[in-house]
Structure 1
Amino acid sequence: MSQEVTRAESIEEQERAREDSDKKPKSRRPANTAFRQQRLKAWQPILTPKSVLPLFFIVGVIFAPIGGVLLWASSLVQEISIDYSDCSSKAPTDSYASVPHYSATFKSSKSISAPTWRKSINESDSGTVTCTLLFEVPNELPAPVFMYYRLTNFYQNHRRYVQSLDLNQLKGDAVSYNTIKGGACDPLAVNETAKKVYYPCGLIANSFFNDTIGMPRILDPNASENEKQYYEMTTKGIAWDSDKELIKGTKYKMDEVLPPPNWVWASQDGVYKEDPNLHENEAFMVWMRTAGLPSFSKLSRRNDTHAMPAAKYSIEIVDRFNVTEYDGTKSILISTRTVLGGKNPFMGIAYVVVGGICVVLGALFTIAHLVRPSPFALQKRGTCATEDPGADFLHEVARLQSDEANPAGSQAREAPIEIETWFHIISSKSESTQVTDDMINSQLSILQQSYADSGISYQLQGVTRHVNDKWASNADDTAMKTALRKGSYRTLNVYFQTNLKASPGQAGRALGYRGAVTNNDLASSVLGFCTLPDPSVNASSPASHYVKDGCNILANTMPGGSLDLYNRGGTAIHEIGHWNGLLHTFQGESCSADNAGDHISDTPQQSTPTDGCPEQKDSCPDSPGLDAVHNFMDYSSDVCYERFTPGQGERMRSIWMSMREGK
């Protein structure tokens, strides 16, 4: 029995092994899609003096007039502010004395007398102090006229303070003792001795500004005491509609709750004198809308219909709110407004200052740009120093072009190519740590992605690092490559140099082409160059015949490098395209029918290199198609690079088979 079981298990295992062997190994390579291979289109603004300098002047021209309008509107506001913080301690009781701190702004040029104050003490009301302020309004204030109280150094924006309330209680719900206790209202939630909740609970409600500010009384020397005349200012309409939605009539009975400890004006023997009717108390609603800054004003009264006549006035204020305990101040403010609000010169000053700074900076940068242009600001892809193709190379390209038109060899040309690759990092002593392992890995990754659609991959055989000031600046290219080059003619050697310059006497395009400038302060005069395939090299050619074969790349152009606009690895992709036999898309720089261009049929005729990353460009309008601004073989900035054409891919594979494979 046991033998049969063992035999059955053995057969099952053999069948499973056979099935497993028939299955193809699952590839861990991500799908070749734009999303998986990170080839999605992206947009990045190209910041150049031409685009940035006008922005400074535009911002300045817009902001300065706006600031002027704001300052003008603020100057139209008329107001008087009187600080009565120390009235209870410094004001006399038997006469009027000048208020030490006040400010006034009126249209009238008539000088006004300083406000005065005195205090009276109500012994029958626990020594409550009433502060009487006398002030003058020299000209009529047009409606609407507003009265505010202003506090300083009072932090309503403190996190714990802002959260200290119960919204359900304010909306009228009779929230239970156990629910309020330990909730957001702590430490002023409940009275544990009386086992009752505070209504309203929390720190905001308890600190309610409880000075009673009366209406301004017009002082008429000819009127009797019984003929008091007031400038009517109401406490209605001072709250927002949203404030009124927050606070509703309560379902509590007054014997079920206690007033907050600081509400002595509303309580008697620790209980409410009467229902506070908070849903009708707009002053309380205004207070519960917390301020964002420690110095703020809150609306107390208003008159929307009648102007405030020129006269002398008195205001009586029951002084209960102590600000000296926290080194704050309190004032009353009577003010008009404009369509842009109350008096606030800060915004106008800010706009004028920003506008002025932008204009000054724009002027300074423009002068600096004209006197000494920045090489990096003006730098174009025109710093590719790959030499122009020779007659032998062009003859071989013409032959391959003819072969590519014959479908018979297309299958062989479609075969994928793997290129053995070596990276050599050549640094100066001062920049020995410039090229990191992450930069190397990123460069290889972007190289693989860019050539994947062309059927070409790069197998990195190794990375060498060398510190040599002479080699880093390409002062002895032959000696460097003789010492460092690896592999045969079909092996790609890429030399990333921190201070790359063109080799002495080297042909091709150097810095200075198409608007770029040569500057001795610039560490490098080229972004890179590669050797084109040499038709004369064969399998028996000695290594000395092709020792200079390979690519020299400025290290700052690697992903993460410091060369703005050209630090995404695009230079290596462009130059290795030359190593694979591709020419520039604008080769010959002519729209003439006699110009063969890059000898590839699916790249449009193009007469000029591309600067930056334009949306579109057509340097040969009489020829089909727009310029290939997104092609790796143009001079666009790195962010613009996207693709090789199918024709370019086929050409690289043809050249590989003809001039590098097996050599």
Structure 2
Amino acid sequence: MKSSAKKESYSSRTPMEQDKKGQHKKDTSGVGKSNIRRELLSQHGLKQLQTGHNKNTKQDVQSTSQQKRSESEKSLTKRKTSLGKKRPKANPFYQQSLHTWQLWLTAESTLKIFFIVGIVLIPIGMICIYFSEMVQEIVIDYTNCQSSANTKCIDDIKSDTIKLFNETQEINLEKKGRVWDWDKKTKFKNPDNNSLKGLEFDKPIFWQKSIWELDPDDPQNNGLENEDLIVWMRTSALPNFRKLYRIIKGLKKGDYELQIEYNFAVHHKDFRKRVIFSTMSLLGGKNPFLGIYFVLTGLACVLFGAFCLYIHVNYGKRPYKGSLL
């Protein structure tokens, strides 16, 4: 009975009500669809806005990066131009790229060096000694000579010439050619105006002449540029030394007399003064010191090389155990 009543009540609805209910359902489904469409449209719009914003931001980033690049390029060009003037030359010396070489010393190479140096120096020293012994000298010591003030001289001899007594021939002594031109231009140079007398130079105690009266006949050999002064002022390395006074070209066989002006006495100080007449060789005057030095140095190199060779042959190939023994 209940089921029939329910069927009847359900079936008792009119077709109009059923149509309205269907329309309501249709209307509600349409509203839901419209809301979904709106949400989709809004999401799509947000996506478009986001993509547009992203595009704008990308463009801004690209523009800023391009500006930075351009600025960096400009700064680099400025630096290059500024450094281009200060940059060193494209040369291995300026660029510090020269090739290097390191000497690697071994026992064989060291022994060769000692023997070669000794073999070369010994003949050179013997040649120097040979040429030094070829030089002939006449040495006259005049430290204790007596004054000739109250005596008569055979002939008057000037300071620049020597006269041959058995003939009337005059022998000239050359003043120039004993010093380097570099000494005259640098160390012993006269003032530009050549006014040595006006500058009032004070002469030393034993000088008989002033500095501007050393050679008045030759202005180029007077004053500080006088060759006698330059030769005497050149410092010697050893206590026994020689000073070249004059150069004689051609001296005939005979008897000669030399008059000397003794201005500075040295006998009370244990010094000696000598006049030396000497010939010349290919190596200059007599000087055995250089040849002896070469020979002794060569002998020392050979002996030391032989000693090192003995040690190398007997002990060089043994394993090292803290000592050679």
Scaled by the length of structure 1, what TM-score is found? 0.29
Which residue pairs with 1:523 in the alignment?
322
Q: Does the alignment pair 1:247 with 2:192?
A: no
Q: Is it true that 1:334 corresponds to 2:133 in the alignment? A: no
Q: Deviations over 1:141-190 (max 9, x none)?
A: xxxxxxxxxxxxxxxxxxxxxxxxxxxxxxxxxxxxxxxxxxxxxxxxxx
Separation (CA, whole Å) in 1 of partners of 2:104 and 2:196: 69
Q: Distance in 2 between matches of 1:275 and 1:358?
A: 51
1:66 partner letter: I
> Is the alpha carbon distance of 1:261 and 1:289 closer, same or farther for their aligned partners in structure 2, counting shifts above 3 Å?
closer
1:291 aligned residue (236, 244, 252): 236
Cα deviation, residue 280, structure 1: 6.3
Mark the CA change 1:60 to 1:321 in structure 2 (over 3 Å): closer, same or farther.
Answer: same
The structure-2 alpha-carbon separation of the partners of 1:240 and 1:47, relative to structure 1 and needing over 3 Å to count, comes to closer
CA-to-aligned-CA distance 1:473-524 (integer Å, 9 cap, x gap): xxxxxxxxxxxxxxxxxxxxxxxxxxxxxxxxxxxxxxxxxxxx247xx239
- Cα offset for 1:317? 0.3
1:72 Cα offset (Å): 1.6
* Closer, same or farther: CA 241–325 of 1 in aligned 2, 3 Å: farther
Is the aligned partner of 1:82 residue 2:148? no
Aligned mates of 1:239, 1:273 — CA distance in 2: 20
Note closer, same or farther for the CA distance 1:314–1:48 as it changes in structure 2 (3 Å cut): same
From the superposition, tell whether residues 287 and 122 of structure 1 become closer, same or farther in structure 2 (CA, over 3 Å). Answer: farther
Match of 2:79 in 1: none
- Which residue number corresponds to residue 266 of structure 1? 209
Does structure 2 retain, via aligned residues, the 8 Å contact 1:215–1:315? no
Residue identity opposite 1:523 in structure 2: G
CA offset digits 1:608-636 (Å, max 9, x no partner): xxxxxxxxxxxxxxxxxxxxxxxxxxxxx
**Do the aligned residues in 2 keep the contact of 1:247 with 1:285 (CA within 8 Å)?**
no
Amino acid at match of 2:308: F
Residues 275 and 316 of structure 1: CA distance in aligned 2, closer, same or farther (over 3 Å):
closer
Query: Secondary structure, in 3 states, of the residue corresponding to 2:257?
Result: strand
User: SS of 1:80's equivalent?
Assistant: strand
| Matched letter for residue 250 of structure 2 | A
Paired amino acid for 2:254: A
Match of 1:57 among 115, 130, 133: 115
One-letter code of the match for 2:322? A
Q: 1:288 to 1:518 in 2, by over 3 A?
A: closer
User: SS of the counterpart of 1:70?
Assistant: helix
Identify the match of residue 320 of structure 1 among 242, 263, 276: 263
Aligned counterpart for 2:253 among listed residues 292, 297, 310:
310
**8 Å CA contact 1:239, 1:283 repeated in 2:** no
Conserved 8 A contact 1:85-1:329: yes
In structure 1, stretches of 5+ residues that fail to align are 1-40, 92-118, 124-129, 133-211, 379-516, 525-663
Q: Distance in 2 between matches of 1:289 and 1:55?
A: 37
The 8 Å contact of residues 212 and 223 in structure 2, kept in 1 or not, is answered as no
Following TM superposition, by how much is the alpha carbon of 1:353 offset from its aligned partner in structure 2, in angstroms?
1.4
1:243·1:286 contact (CA, 8 Å) conserved in 2?
A: no
Q: Which of 283, 286, 297 is the matching residue for 1:343?
A: 286
1:312-338 residue CA offsets vs partner (Å, 9 max, x unmatched) = 221110100222354322222222222
Shift of 1:214: 5.2
SS of residue matched to 1:328: coil
Q: Is the 8 A contact 1:259 1:266 kept in 2?
A: no
Query: Is 1:367 the counterpart of 2:325 in the alignment?
Result: no
Q: Is the 8 A contact 2:215 2:226 kept in 1?
A: no
1:217 maps to what in 2?
A: 163
Post-superposition Cα deviations, 1:345-376, rounded to whole Å, max 9, x if no partner, equal 11111111111222223233323433x214xx
* Matched residue, 1:571: none
Aligned to 1:69: 127
Aligned to 1:652: none
Query: For the Cα contact (< 8 Å) 2:160–2:172, is it kept in 1?
Result: no
Amino acid aligned to 1:218: L
Give the secondary-structure state (helix, strand or coil) at the position aligned to 1:312. coil
Paired with 1:55 and 1:238, the residues of 2 have a C-alpha distance of 39
Would you say 1:281 and 2:226 are equivalent positions?
yes
Query: Does the 8 A contact of 2:213 with 2:223 survive in 1?
Result: no
Q: Deviations over 1:511-569 (max 9, x none)?
A: xxxxxx247xx239xxxxxxxxxxxxxxxxxxxxxxxxxxxxxxxxxxxxxxxxxxxxx
Residue in structure 2 matching 1:121, options 135, 142, 149: 149
| Bigger helix share | 2
One-letter code aligned to 1:345: P
Q: Are residues 348 and 275 of structure 1, via their aligned partners in 2, closer, same or farther at CA, if it must alter by over 3 Å?
A: closer
Measure how far apart 1:233 and its partner are: 1.3
Q: Which residue of 2 aligns with 1:480?
A: none
Inter-CA distance 312–59: structure 2 relative to 1 (3 Å threshold): same
Deviation at 1:232, TM superposition (A): 2.1
Pair member with larger Rg: 2
Structure-1 separation of matches of 2:281 and 2:176: 21
8 Å contact kept, 1:63–1:355: yes
1:232 and 2:172 matched: yes
How far apart, CA to CA, are the structure 1 residues paired with 2:215 and 2:300? Answer: 58
**1:256 and 1:358 mapped to 2: Cα distance?**
57
* Counterpart AA for 1:84: Y
**Contact in 2 for aligned 1:214/1:315 (Cα 8 Å):** no
* Aligned positions of 1:140-539 closer than 5 A: 215-220=161-166, 227=168, 229-245=169-185, 246-248=188-190, 251-252=194-195, 254=197, 257=200, 259-266=202-209, 277-278=222-223, 281-303=226-248, 306-370=249-313, 372-374=314-316, 378=317, 517-518=318-319, 522-523=321-322
CA distance in 2, matches of 1:311, 1:288: 34
Higher strand proportion, which one?
Answer: 1
